[in-house]
């Protein structure tokens, strides 16, 4: 199984400042079809996860452009250019290239 290692575990951020979360899969996420199915999810307290980013860098509909995803190989990053209060919660990376699909352990973003 592919292990998805996220860091940091916790990320205190000041409003308006940038934030960056790292995700390192234990092996390549390049699918036979050439795509890389690396996904970022956001879960607010008491809510279901919401997909933000798919295929490394494609933003889902309605996701603010302050969120961006990047990376390749075995290192991927979610960046928030200027953190807003609604961005608090836990962020997960997930790979959908190989079965079983696997998730990172989560990064808790807290607003200072």
Instruction: Provide the binding-site residues for another protein, judged by CB under 8 A.
Output: 37, 39, 41, 48-51, 54, 60, 92, 94, 96, 99-103, 105-106
The residue among 15 and 58 lying less far from another protein, judged by its C-beta, is 58
Give Cβ neighbours of residue 38 (< 8 Å, ≥ 6 apart): 23, 25, 29, 55, 56, 69, 71, 76, 93, 94, 95, 97
**Least CB distance to another protein at residue 16 (A):** 29
Instruction: Rank residues 60 and 84 by Cβ distance to another protein and give the closer one.
Output: 60
Cα–Cα distance between 74 and 30 in angstroms, integer? 10
Q: Minimum Å distance from CB 61 to another protein?
A: 9
Instruction: Output DSSP code: residue 57.
Output: T
Nearer to another protein, 9 or 112 (CB): 9
Q: How far apart are CA 24 and CA 80, in angstroms?
A: 18
Q: How far apart are CA 87 and CA 60, in angstroms?
A: 15
| Cβ distance to another protein smaller for residue 16 or 62 | 62
Least gap, CB of 45 to another protein (angstroms): 13
């Amino acid at each position: 199984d592919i292990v998805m290692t996220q860091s940091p575990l916790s990320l205190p951020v000041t409003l308006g400042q940038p934030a960056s979360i790292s995700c390192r899969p234990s092996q390549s996420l390049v699918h036979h079809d050439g795509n890389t199915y690396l996904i970022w999810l956001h879960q607010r307290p008491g809510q279901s996860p919401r997909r933000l980013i798919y295929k490394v860098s494609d933003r889902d509909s309605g996701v603010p452009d302050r969120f961006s995803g990047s990376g390749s190989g075995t290192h991927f990053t979610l960046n928030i250019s200027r953190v807003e209060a609604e961005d608090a919660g836990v962020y997960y990376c997930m790979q959908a290239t190989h079965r079983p699909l696997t998730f990172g352990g989560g990064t808790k973003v807290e607003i200072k």
